[in-house]
Chain A
Amino acid sequence: MHFSNFQNNKTMKKFILFLIVILIIIFPTIITQPYILHIMIMVFIYAILGGAWNILSGYAGQVSLGNAMFFGLGAYASSVLWLFYNINPWIGMIIGGLFAVAFGIFLGMPVFRLRRQYLAIATIAASQIIMTIFLNWEYVKGASGLALPLMPNSLKHMTFLYGKNGFYFISLAILIFFTFVVFVITKTKLGYYFRTIKEEEDSARSIGINTTQYKLVAISITAFFSAIAGTVYAQYFLYIDPNMVFSLRVSFLIVLISAFGGTATIFGPILGACVLIPINEMARMFFGGAGRGIDLFSFGILILVVAIYRPAGLVSLFYGKEKLAIRENLPGKDGKVDGENENIES
C-alpha cells in the first residue's frame, strides 16, 4: 500500500479526514442493513475502549491487561441505577464513569508501585477478582445477568429498539469527542508528562513530575471513557452478564486493537478497531458456536504480520514515510552542527 502521494500535503490529509468523517456520518442513510450497522457500532465502542487503554498504556506506558473491569463497571453501574433506582442512563453514564475513576484511583495507588509485567499481572488479577464478585453477587443477579427494561424509543432514555441509527450516532459522537480529548491531551502538559513517565521514571521525577499522581490521572481518564463505552454497550444490548463485559477476552481484545493499530497514536486504536472488530463480528455471524476461536486465530496471524512488518502498528503505514523524511533531513546528521565544539562565550 502506498499513501506517499498525500504524505507531505497537510491540507490534502485534512481534506481526506474531513471526507471520511462526512462519509461516516451519512453512512446509515446509504447502507441500511442492520448487520453492517451493528458492526459499525461495535467498531465505535471498541475504538473508544482501545483509545482509552492507549492513554494509560500507550502514552503513559503503564500496561494494563484488565481494562475490561472499567468497561464492565460502567455497564453495571448505569444498568443497576436504571433498573433499581430509576436513574436516567445518561446520568448513570456519568455516575458510572466517576465510579470507575474512583475505582481506578483506588486500584492505582497500590498497583502503580509495580512496574512492567508485574503491573500487567496485577491488573489481570484485579479484573478477575471483579468478575468473580459480579458472578456471585446476588444483588446484580450473578451469572444470569441483568436485563434492562424495554422502554419506548427515545433519546432521553438512551433506548432505540427499532433500527440501529440511534446507537450508531451516540457511539460515533462519543468517539469523536473522545478523539478530540486525546488530541488535546497529546498537545498539552499531560501528554508530555505521560510520555516522559513512559520513558524513564527517575528522570521524570527529577524534572518535577510527580509520577504517581500523573499515573493516577492517566488511569482516571482511561477508566472514565471505558466506563462510558460500557454504558452505551449495556443500553445497546439491553442485557449484560459478567462474562460479556468483564472477561479476559474483552481485556485482551482492547489491547490487541490498540497494539495492532499503533500504540501512543491518536488514530491507531480507531484503525485497529476498524480491522479487528469486523473480523470478530463476522466470525461470530458466519461460524456461530461452531467457529469459536476462529476470530482469535485470525487476530494471532494479523498481529504476527504487523509485528514483523510494521512494529509501530498499522497506523505507521500512513505516517511512516513522512517521519522518515524528517529523520533524513536532520541538521548535523552526517557532520558537525554550526558552532559545535567552538568556544562557548562565558
Chain B
Amino acid sequence: MERLMAKMKILKVSKLTKKFAGLVANNSIDLEVEKGIILGLIGPNGAGKTTLFNCISGVYSIDKGNIFFEDRDITNSSPDQVCKLGMTRTFQVVKSVENMSVLDYVMSGAFCRTWNTAKAKKIALDILNFVGFGLYERRDYLAKELTLLNKKALQIASTLATKPKILLLDEAMAGLTKNEQQNAIKLIIKIRDSGITLIVVEHVMEIIMTIADRVVVLNSGIKIADDTPEKVSKDPQVIRAYLGA
C-alpha cells in the first residue's frame, strides 16, 4: 500500500474513448499509474483490455480523450515515439521475428538508446542475463527455434533493452504451465524492483491478485473498479461481471 502513496504519476489517461465502427471498445476510461508499481488490468473477454493497450502504446489512434506520459501529452503518438520516450509494450500473440538470432533481436531493442554496436551488445547481454529462462545461453538461436516460453521471454528482453520507464505486458503468461508461470511472476517482480513501472494484462486471476499493487477492472469497455487486489476481489460489480450473476 505504501507504494501507492506520495508517488509521482507516470502515466495518466483521461476520458479515453475508442470506437470501432459503432462498437465502443473503450468508453471514457480514466487511469492513473504511479511510478514503480505493478498495475493489473483485468476483465472478461472483450472487455477492451488489449484495445486500451493499443491506444496507450500508440498502435491505435484514439477518438476522444488524452494520454499523458510523465506530464507530456502523447495522445496519438506513434509506437516508436512512445518507445523513445520510455514506454514499451509486448504483444498478446507473440509477433515473432523468425530468422534473427536472440542476441541480434535484443540488440535492435538496445539500439533505441545508442548508435554504438559494442554498447548495444553489452546492454543486450546484460538484459539476457537479467531475464534468464536460458536466453543468455541460447543467444545464438534463431527466434523461430525457441519454445513459446522462450519466445515470450525474448519479447520481454527486447522491450527491456529499449530501457523503458514503463512496460506494458499483454497476457505475458497465457499458454504457460504452472511452473513456468511461477518463474514468469518472479521475473515481473524483478523488473518492478529494478525500477520499471508495469501494467499487466492477465486472464489468470490468482496471478494478478498476487503481484499487482493495484487492479483496474474493465467490462464492456467501461472501468468498473480500481482498487487494491483485496478490495477488488470483493467488489460486487466485479463478481457480477466475472460470474455473470
Contacts and interface: CB of A to CB of B under 8 A. Distances in A.
Interface of A: 187-189, 192-193, 195-196, 199-200, 202-211, 326, 330-332, 336-341, 343-346
Given A206-B89, A208-B83, A326-B140, A344 B111 contact: no
Contacts of A339: 132, 134
A200 B137 contact: no
Interface majority SS (helix, strand, loop, mixed), chain A: loop
A343 to B, nearest CB: 7
Contacts of A205: 59, 78-80, 83
A330 B135 CA distance: 12
B134 A193 contact: no
B100 A188 contact: no
Contact of B158 (A207, A337, A341): A207
Contacts of B117: 187-189
Contacts of A332: 134, 137-138
Nearest to B141: A330
B162 A208 contact: yes
Given A200-B96, A202-B59, A340-B134, A207 B115 contact: no
Contacts of B104: 192, 195
Contact of A338 (B79, B133, B137, B161): B137
Contacts, number: 110
Given A199-B100, A330-B138, A339-B132, A210 B78 contact: yes
17 contacts: A192-B108, A196-B108, A199-B97, A200-B97, A203-B91, A205-B59, A206-B83, A208-B80, A208-B109, A208-B112, A209-B112, A210-B78, A330-B140, A332-B134, A341-B183, A344-B190, A346-B193
Interface residues of B, number: 49
A207 B78 contact: no
A205 B158 CA distance: 12
Contacts of B210: none
B186 A341 contact: no
Given A196-B105, A206-B79, A210-B78, 5 more contacts: A192-B108, A209-B108, A330-B141, A337-B134, A343-B183
Contacts of B218: none
B234 interface: no
Contacts of A189: 111, 115, 117, 120
Nearest to B190: A346
A340 B108 contact: no
Interface string B96-138: 1111100011011101100101001000000000001110011
A202 B158 CA distance: 13
B80 A209 contact: yes
A341 B177 CA distance: 11
Contacts of B96: 200, 203
B97 A344 contact: no
Contacts of B132: 339, 344
The 9 closest A-B pairs by CB, nearest first: A337-B134, A208-B83, A208-B112, A199-B97, A205-B79, A337-B137, A207-B109, A344-B186, A196-B108
A340 B109 contact: no
Interface string B63-84: 0000000000000001111011
A189 B111 CA distance: 6
